[in-house]
Structure 1
């Protein structure tokens, strides 16, 4: 899929124009901004990642973005995903109740207490972790760098899951492991 310039500009703007305070000094409004930026990233990641056809039940099936564990987004993820598509598929947001339900996700954000929700075995799920919550890294790992939300990418882990990540997204990462 060729990503439109508007989507790429929005992703770059999220990186460079949305400074946030470090977690230890956050006021509620600043925390809200941080997770609003992360919600927009999660939605935009869908346009930069290709899943194998077997990851979807049907050609018109949605890209499912899930939150496992504590949900810090306060509705920002639903607002960001509203009326959005990736590869012609609508985006939908879910909060699975168990590991089995999480196996149906395409993007899985692991919040505080959500580690037990990660499906076992090789899956075509873009696993997103958060440095504000845990040190253990997923395929994409959010961090705060210079008061901005940034991320690291583990390309080897994504490849093991059958995922292909666009070079445009790789170029925006702080680091790429296995690239």
Structure 2
């Protein structure tokens, strides 16, 4: 069963990765789809009634995430997408996505979320600045980097299938 689940996960991410330039989907829509799968294949130590994804970026990106993830569920919980405008807004979030336009906030958010079970995902490669997962484009394909040490320090556990698809640091 685990092998079948990992194979399906790999197939999904591989099919998404080739669409960066081939489809009319925007870069952010693809990232939202990836984040949905991160949510499914990362285990959080605590569960909340809703699965909250905080988005730090322009209003149109927040709306795009809301539309892309509308009606989706993680572990039987509804996904709620909300705007993050400052460090005080991270409470209750399971994932924080930092758009390229908001990358200057990464260091502040990293310090506020230190040792908390909050996954920080960045739209551009900011792994060396404290992100746990960062998106990168290589050979016109959307890929992602995972910094395992930072992830494990927060108590988050990625599935083996997810780790196999990532660029690990």
Equivalent position to 2:151, from 142, 145, 158? 158
- Deviations for 1:55-98, whole angstroms, at most 9, x for unmatched residues? x34xxx11111112445636331122111111111111011232
Q: Secondary structure at the match of 1:124?
A: coil
- 120-129 or 110-119, which moves further after superposition? 110-119
Equivalent residue, structure 2, for 1:26: none
TM-score by structure 2 length? 0.80
Query: Is the 1:141–1:152 contact (alpha carbons within 8 Å) kept by the matching residues of 2?
Result: yes
Going from structure 1 to structure 2, the CA distance change for 1:89 and 1:8 (only over 3 Å counts) comes to farther
Output the aligned Cα RMSD: 2.9
Question: How many pairs were matched up?
Answer: 162
Higher helix share: 2
Match of 1:176 in 2: 168
Per-residue CA deviations over 1:111-170 (Å, capped at 9, x if unaligned) read 224323442431101111122789735110111111111110011111100001011111
TM-score by length of 1: 0.76
Instruction: Judge conservation of contact 2:136–2:142 (CA < 8 Å) in 1.
Output: yes
Moved more, 164-173 or 134-143: 134-143
Which among 30, 50, 53 is matched to residue 62 of structure 1?
A: 50
Matched, 1:124 2:112: no
Q: Which runs of 5+ in 1 are unaligned?
A: 22-28
Match of 1:114 among 105, 119, 139: 105
Look up the match of 1:20: 21
